[in-house]
């Protein structure tokens, strides 16, 4: 296993362990956080707060480096554009998270922990991933590529 693959594996394992320790592999805990008018569970707020503070502190040191430890270069987003696919993806993610109580990281960690909910969520998540890739791979048509409609071909 090369250093980059090992680094990715170790980072994922550490992330999954953190999710399991914090209880974020339990969809009911996440749903409890989202249920502000009912049986509210603030645990996720502390997990998110800890992640934000850690990121604010660590990113200053990480990005001060000329390159990552186990890669040739940093791979940062190249655009800041907010477009319809981004908003649609965010909405789908949010609705799915609200309905199931899972997002991809905790779902995979939950699958590893034997969560019954993750066993039905992960295949649905993978099906959605494959559907999105299939739709994105379709050739796009423009108005110039489309055949004339029946009304236009009859002159009306």
Q: List pLDDT tens digits, range 120-141.
A: 899 998 998 899 899 888 887 7
Q: Torsion over CA of 126, 129, 133 and 135, rounded to 10 degrees?
A: 110
Integer Cα distance of 58 and 6 in angstroms: 21
Dihedral sign, Cα of residue 63, residue 67, residue 69, residue 75: positive
Q: Where are the alpha helices (DSSP H) in the chain?
A: 3-22, 27-34, 43-62, 84-100, 104-112, 116-137, 150-153
Contacts of 91 (CB under 8 A, 6+ apart): none
Nearest to 99 by CA among 35, 39, 47, 18: 35
Integer Cα distance of 48 and 109 in angstroms: 17
Answer yes or no: are the C-beta atoms of 96 and 106 closer than 8 Å: no
> What confidence tens digit (pLDDT) does each residue in 3-56 have?
888 888 898 888 888 888 888 888 888 889 888 888 899 988 998 899 899 999
Integer Cα distance of 34 and 98 in angstroms: 7
Confirm whether pTM is higher than 0.85. Answer: no
């Amino acid at each position: 296993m090369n250093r980059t693959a090992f680094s990715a594996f170790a980072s994922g394992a550490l992330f999954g362990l953190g999710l399991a320790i914090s209880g974020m592999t339990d969809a009911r805990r996440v749903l409890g956080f989202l249920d502000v008018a009912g049986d509210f569970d603030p645990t996720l707020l502390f997990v998110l707060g800890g992640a934000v503070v850690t990121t604010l502190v660590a990113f200053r040191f990480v990005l001060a480096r000329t390159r990552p430890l186990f890669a040739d270069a940093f791979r940062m987003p190249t655009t800041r554009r907010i477009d319809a696919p981004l908003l649609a993806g965010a909405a789908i993610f949010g609705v799915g998270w609200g309905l199931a109580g899972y997002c991809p990281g905790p779902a995979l960690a939950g699958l590893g922990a034997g969560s019954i909910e993750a066993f039905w969520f992960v295949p649905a998540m993978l099906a959605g991933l494959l559907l999105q890739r299939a739709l994105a791979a379709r050739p796009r048509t423009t108005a110039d590529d489309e055949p004339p409609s029946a009304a236009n071909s009859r002159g009306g």
